Structure 1
């Protein structure tokens, strides 16, 4: 069976500015793939090209073997898309919204009626199906949008920041639904500003920054790129630049970067055991007033590759 998604060398320019620069990855059938990047990294532009909302300036996208540029209607029938912004008619009920979008997909009336009941049950809104969407909480609107995306039984589900602005209860419900769909064999592309969501849901991750795909692989593979280094955060009182320079010379430190007016981030082998040496090395230029050691994880890999946190 062909992969659920293959994109190759995607490029998007606005004037002289390249916002997506030769991005390429694939999603296998039944795989959950996370796309991570700080704000402005090019995630949403990439997704807009994947679903046919933007035409690439270079590269190709196929969904289930169908070329999105050559046959966009056929490709879109294979995609369920949940955008960042709510895409519903607030004056209609959830059932009426689903009926409207189902008719756009040309689902037969009898099949559509049954399918509406199934997806409303799945997202936990069967008891509110006939209430207007404008009366819903943010989380309920998100869950309705997911129901719309699932209505036509897509081959690939794309969720772009599906838990932004939702209440904790709805967030848990959304993640539970996503996990259930993946367990049932749904192919998934998932973006989020919450690292723990991606770690929970996805088996493979791509990290995008400044329009380029910096890394692609399983969590284990991405963490392995750090070479077993720990991330050490030091808060110092003194000359932070000079302190960073001294810390770079300590054996076992592979990187020391100034991250604020009084903070230095290091990558170091055996960070906890190295702390006395680091504090002693800093003593000539600054006093260490705070320490945090984080062993290798996906967050550390992200920081290493992009130089920023996921929410920057």
Structure 2
């Protein structure tokens, strides 16, 4: 991989607060135009990691590379100008929604005409156009969350950090926000790091994930590769007419080995390896006059990977 493909890299990143080790030996990279999900329970080190990656905290050991440059005190401000960060909902309470964004646009160095255009675009996407004149202190928790995200994306950053961005949002607003972030990735080649323990919607957003457990990366890599490695077999749900026990016997006979079955919501659940096509099992069922009502592939998800990794504490 060329350095131009790599937006962010952490190498051996470690941070101590006194005798407590908040994060330990984090090593991962995020390529340009991809979304990286930094996942983990509350208190496991996600926010500390973001502060290290943006230069707000100095690591005890290790280094951070941003846009091909090693992050240091001398270049931190210049590099941060290319970054958007949403980590909290602290706003200028006595300023309007418009003036909050206008102030941040000025801090980012945007031209006045660009600021006004971007304010309109961001508020439209986030569903805050009708609250443009409201004071930030009058907003609900969900609206404050939206405004803090708007502040982070106002200058169309090359690298965007989102910390629990859908917290406090209703499902429709969360879907809209994820869609907007995906559009930034597709059209602007924005690189996104999303820190969360709320996993809904990540399937359509994250290309890569890292799962933090007790301050350490239990697993990191491309989502598809991690899922395939953890669950190499193909899993299915099967609905049949008649006795499920007969279906189990037929499938076992068709594949020539013992197959482990379970029941999920009244359906048979089982796995086949790559050399055992589901079509052979279905053909055997039909030949045995067993009605096949539905065959549903069970594709593992990021949520499955997350809970499996956290529960057993090992890498996938």
- 1:176 corresponding residue in structure 2: 179
Larger Rg: 2
> Any unmatched runs of 5+ in structure 1?
232-268, 277-293
2:101 is the alignment partner of 1:98 = yes
* Equivalent-residue separation in structure 2 for 1:195 and 1:230 (angstroms): 23
Q: Structure 1 residues 9-18 or 99-108, which shifts more?
A: 99-108
Secondary structure at the counterpart of residue 307 of structure 1: helix
Does the CA contact (< 8 Å) of 1:229 and 1:296 recur in 2? no
- Once the two structures are superposed, the pairs formed by residues 223-234 of structure 1 within 5 Å of their partners are 223-228=227-232
2:23 is the alignment partner of 1:20 = yes
Does the CA contact (< 8 Å) of 1:36 and 1:43 recur in 2? yes
- Cα gap change, 1:270/1:213 in structure 2, threshold over 3 Å: closer, same or farther? farther
- 2:147 corresponding residue in structure 1: 144
- Once the two structures are superposed, the pairs formed by residues 66-81 of structure 1 within 5 Å of their partners are 66-70=69-73, 71-81=75-85
Secondary structure at the counterpart of residue 200 of structure 2: helix
* Deviations 1:24-70 (CA, angstroms, capped at 9, x unpaired): 11111110111111222211111111122211111111221233324
* Equivalent-residue separation in structure 2 for 1:139 and 1:270 (angstroms): 48
Does the CA contact (< 8 Å) of 1:34 and 1:190 recur in 2? yes
- Once the two structures are superposed, the pairs formed by residues 158-177 of structure 1 within 5 Å of their partners are 158-177=161-180
* Equivalent-residue separation in structure 1 for 2:300 and 2:173 (angstroms): 30
Secondary structure at the counterpart of residue 89 of structure 1: coil
Secondary structure at the counterpart of residue 230 of structure 2: coil
Q: How many residues are paired up?
A: 254
* Equivalent-residue separation in structure 2 for 1:270 and 1:216 (angstroms): 31
Secondary structure at the counterpart of residue 38 of structure 1: coil
User: Which residue, 219, 222, 228 being the options, matches 1:218?
Assistant: 222
- 1:7 corresponding residue in structure 2: 10
- 1:51 corresponding residue in structure 2: 54
- Cα gap change, 1:55/1:227 in structure 2, threshold over 3 Å: closer, same or farther? same
- Cα gap change, 1:230/1:296 in structure 2, threshold over 3 Å: closer, same or farther? farther
- Once the two structures are superposed, the pairs formed by residues 1-312 of structure 1 within 5 Å of their partners are 1-70=4-73, 71-83=75-87, 85-184=88-187, 185-228=189-232, 271-272=260-261, 296-307=300-311
* Equivalent-residue separation in structure 2 for 1:39 and 1:140 (angstroms): 22
| TM-score, normalising length: structure 1 | 0.73
How far off its partner does 1:136 sit?
Answer: 2.2
- Cα gap change, 1:14/1:138 in structure 2, threshold over 3 Å: closer, same or farther? same
How far off its partner does 1:192 sit?
Answer: 1.9
Does the CA contact (< 8 Å) of 1:230 and 1:270 recur in 2? no
* Equivalent-residue separation in structure 1 for 2:198 and 2:259 (angstroms): 27
How far off its partner does 1:110 sit?
Answer: 3.0
* Equivalent-residue separation in structure 1 for 2:10 and 2:134 (angstroms): 40
* Equivalent-residue separation in structure 1 for 2:302 and 2:118 (angstroms): 38
* Equivalent-residue separation in structure 2 for 1:274 and 1:111 (angstroms): 57
How far off its partner does 1:147 sit?
Answer: 1.4
CA RMSD of aligned residues (A): 2.7
- Cα gap change, 1:111/1:301 in structure 2, threshold over 3 Å: closer, same or farther? closer
How far off its partner does 1:227 sit?
Answer: 4.5
How far off its partner does 1:194 sit?
Answer: 2.1
* Equivalent-residue separation in structure 1 for 2:121 and 2:71 (angstroms): 29
How far off its partner does 1:295 sit?
Answer: 7.0
> Any unmatched runs of 5+ in structure 2?
236-257, 269-297
Does the CA contact (< 8 Å) of 1:64 and 1:155 recur in 2? no
* Equivalent-residue separation in structure 2 for 1:270 and 1:88 (angstroms): 57
How far off its partner does 1:175 sit?
Answer: 1.8
How far off its partner does 1:98 sit?
Answer: 0.9
